[in-house]
């Protein structure tokens, strides 16, 4: 862990206070009216690696913990493959409340919630931020490029006043729908330890493609189709 023990304790206390005072009771958008509870994030406030997904799903809404459905189990397995556990990283989402029917986040909802994510980054100060899927990648990179184009490409930038390295990845749910993507996810995950080790060295460098361009990610089904999909009950999104 970085810093002295007292500094670490202060970081833990600051994140807990922010969640308590600003996130858990947030009513900035209409999603607050239909949630079971806010899903602020989980893991170590001292983590050097932060994962950012899209939004809570069915199970996350009920447990208050991100990535606890089938996609979460796959994420745990990918972490284990590079010698990490969930407690070693911090996991959050762009939205802190579940959208109805697990539909895509709307622009107004993202604008209402993004301050919470930026503040989390500013407190945790991760060396590496791994964005999972399109919504997290576009928000944090500030660029329109989709995940099929930029996955596995590192991008030094500053978020929440903190220099960091952005590393876009496919959402684990994509590998559940399209198993061929699992090999791509495993390849991209395998670079994470090295990226963390040299995060300071690449600050200020240009984005670097590191794997061949994969096949295009399948388009998401329309909300009505997604509502009827059994995967919705598994909390994949």
160, 116 contact by CB (below 8 A)? no
Beginning with the edge strand found earlier in the chain, give each strand of the sheet holding 128-132 in spatial order.
Answer: 42-43, 90-93, 49-53, 128-132, 162-169, 153-159, 208-209
Look at residue 142 and tell me whether its pLDDT is greater than 70.
Answer: yes
pLDDT tens for 6-27 read 767 899 999 999 999 999 999 9
The answer to whether position 230 is within a domain reads: no
Residue 229 lies in a domain: no
What residues make up the domain containing 190? 10-198
pLDDT for res 200: 53
For the chain, how many residues are written?
237
Residue 81 lies in a domain: yes
| Residue 221 maps to a domain | no
Whole-structure pTM value: 0.82
In angstroms, the CA 154 to CA 202 distance is 9
CATH label of the domain that carries residue 134: 3.40.470.10
Establish if 226 belongs to a structural domain. Answer: no
Number of other residues whose CB lies within 10 A of the CB of residue 7 = 11
The average confidence (pLDDT) of the chain is 84
Count of the separate structural domains present in the chain: 1
Per the rule left: phi > 0, alpha: psi between -120 and 50, beta: everything else, 102 is left
Query: Closest Cα partner for 167 from 177, 157, 182, 181?
Result: 157
Decide if 205 contacts 145 (C-beta within 8 A): no
**Between 19 and 4, residue with greater pLDDT:** 19
């Amino acid at each position: 862990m970085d810093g002295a023990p007292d500094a670490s304790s202060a970081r833990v206390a600051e994140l807990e206070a922010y969640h308590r005072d600003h996130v858990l009771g947030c009513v900035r958008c209409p999603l607050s009216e239909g949630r079971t509870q806010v899903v602020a994030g989980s893991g170590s406030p001292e983590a050097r690696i932060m994962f950012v997904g899209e939004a809570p799903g069915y199970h996350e809404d009920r447990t208050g913990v991100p990535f606890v459905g089938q996609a979460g189990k796959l994420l745990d397995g990918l972490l284990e493959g590079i010698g990490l556990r969930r407690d070693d990283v911090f996991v959050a989402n762009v939205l802190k409340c579940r959208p109805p029917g697990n539909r895509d986040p709307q622009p107004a909802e993202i604008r209402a919630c993004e301050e919470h994510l930026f503040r989390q980054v500013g407190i945790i100060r991760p060396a590496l931020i791994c964005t999972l899927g399109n919504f997290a990648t576009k928000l944090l990179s500030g660029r329109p490029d989709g995940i099929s184009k930029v996955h596995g490409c590192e991008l030094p930038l500053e978020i929440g006043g903190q220099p960091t390295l952005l590393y876009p990845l496919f959402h684990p749910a994509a590998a559940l729908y399209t198993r061929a993507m699992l090999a791509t996810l495993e390849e991209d995950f395998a670079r994470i330890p090295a990226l963390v080790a040299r995060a300071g060295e690449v600050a200020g460098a240009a984005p670097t493609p590191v794997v061949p361009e994969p096949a295009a990610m399948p388009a998401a089904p329309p909300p009505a189709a997604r509502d009827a999909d059994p995967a919705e009950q598994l909390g994949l999104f």
